[in-house]
């Protein structure tokens, strides 16, 4: 069976997350339903990562095996036709090797978290960013973010529902960028724990508003205790923006 990789964009608000749910809408379910309109028996889709309810993506990657040998462009067009009106789109499609895997072949993931800091409520970005009403000190947040770089036991920043075998991960990049009243957190690692990025952002937001110092971030990390974490940032500001492979399947 030919194997195809898909780069997928979606608005997470209507979904209970990426993973297929029995009684709730999911991104995986929407894609599998679209593929089922094209072929009678398509195995389940595998993705590079399972995003939570309300989390968005501009470059999620998934793969599926098909019975037919499709032209990748025509397959993308057909899937997108049957995805309507769900807020999901395949933005690229490529034929890949039979042993290529969206999750296990990946060597890195990139996330973006958007915060808008202003008094006025969000209008165009409602549901697409975390709205905070107080000023944020980006320099202080970057100083706190720097304490998290490298390999650590990230138990403090791990959901109690996390199923990862180990809390030890290596954080490669956590950069705080300011553009007007928007603060963007760029986060990169080979892999992440459940709720890790949102836990980082919620903790650093406390630093930005002056409730914590960068030293408090270090203390929270070293505590290796979930209770030491700051509040978890809401899902609507989080985007999966890239999955890294030894060779880009989409060229």
- Report all structural domains of the chain as residue ranges with CATH numbers, in order of start: 3-105 (3.30.70.580), 108-242 (3.30.70.660)
For helices 196-208 and 138-146, give the axis angle rounded to 10 degrees: 130
What pLDDT is stored for residue 53 in this prediction? 95
On the question of pLDDT at 101 being above 90, the answer is yes
Can 52 be counted among the known catalytic residues? yes
The DSSP letter of residue 249 is: T
On the question of pLDDT at 137 being above 90, the answer is yes
On the question of pLDDT at 44 being above 90, the answer is no
Side-chain-side CA neighbours of residue 181 (13 Å): 15
On the question of pLDDT at 244 being above 80, the answer is yes
Q: Residue 62's pLDDT band (boundaries 50, 70, 90)? A: very high
DSSP assignment of 134-178 equals: S---HHHHHHHHHTT-EEEE-GGGS-TT---S-SEEEEEEEEEEE
On the question of pLDDT at 43 being above 80, the answer is no
Mean pLDDT score, 228-246: 97
Low-confidence winner among 2-6, 160-164, 224-228, 238-242 (lowest mean pLDDT): 160-164
Residue % of the chain over a pLDDT of 90: 94
Report the predicted TM-score, pTM, of the whole model to 2 decimal places. Answer: 0.95
The total of other beta-carbon atoms located within 10 Å of residue 11's CB is: 17
What pLDDT is stored for residue 239 in this prediction? 98
Q: What is the pLDDT of residues 5-39, one digit of tens each?
A: 999 999 999 999 999 988 999 999 999 999 999 99
The catalytic residue among 41, 52, 98, 125 is 52
Computed over every residue of the chain, the mean pLDDT equals 96
Residue labelled with tokens 């679209």: 34
What pLDDT is stored for residue 245 in this prediction? 98
> CB-based contacts of 201: which residues, under 8 Å, 6+ apart?
113, 115, 130, 185, 233, 237, 238
Q: What is the pLDDT of residues 190-222, one digit of tens each?
A: 999 999 999 999 999 999 999 999 999 999 999
């Amino acid at each position: 069976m030919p194997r195809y990789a898909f780069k997928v964009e979606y608005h997470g608000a209507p979904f209970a997350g990426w993973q297929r749910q029995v009684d709730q809408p999911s991104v995986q379910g929407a894609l599998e339903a679209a593929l089922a309109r094209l072929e009678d028996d398509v195995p389940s889709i595998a993705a590079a990562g399972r995003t939570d309810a309300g989390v968005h993506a501009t470059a999620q990657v998934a793969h599926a095996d098909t019975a037919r040998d499709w032209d990748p462009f025509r397959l993308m067009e057909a899937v997108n036709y049957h995805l309507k009106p769900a807020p999901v789109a395949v933005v690229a499609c490529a034929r890949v090797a039979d042993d290529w895997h969206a999750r296990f072949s990946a060597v890195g993931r990139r996330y973006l978290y958007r915060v808008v800091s202003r008094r006025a409520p969000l209008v165009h970005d409602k549901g697409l960013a975390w709205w905070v009403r107080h000023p944020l000190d980006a320099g202080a947040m970057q100083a706190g973010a720097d304490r998290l770089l490298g390999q650590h036991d990230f138990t403090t920043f791990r959901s109690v529902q996390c199923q990862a075998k180990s809390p030890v991960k290596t954080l490669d990049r956590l950069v705080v960028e300011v553009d007007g009243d928007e603060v963007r957190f760029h986060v990169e690692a080979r892999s992440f724990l459940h709720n890790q990025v949102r836990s980082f952002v919620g903790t650093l937001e406390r630093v930005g508003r002056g409730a914590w110092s960068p030293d408090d971030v270090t203390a929270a990390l070293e505590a290796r205790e979930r209770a030491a974490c700051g509040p978890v940032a809401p899902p609507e500001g989080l985007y999966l923006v890239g999955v890294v492979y030894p060779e880009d399947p989409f060229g």
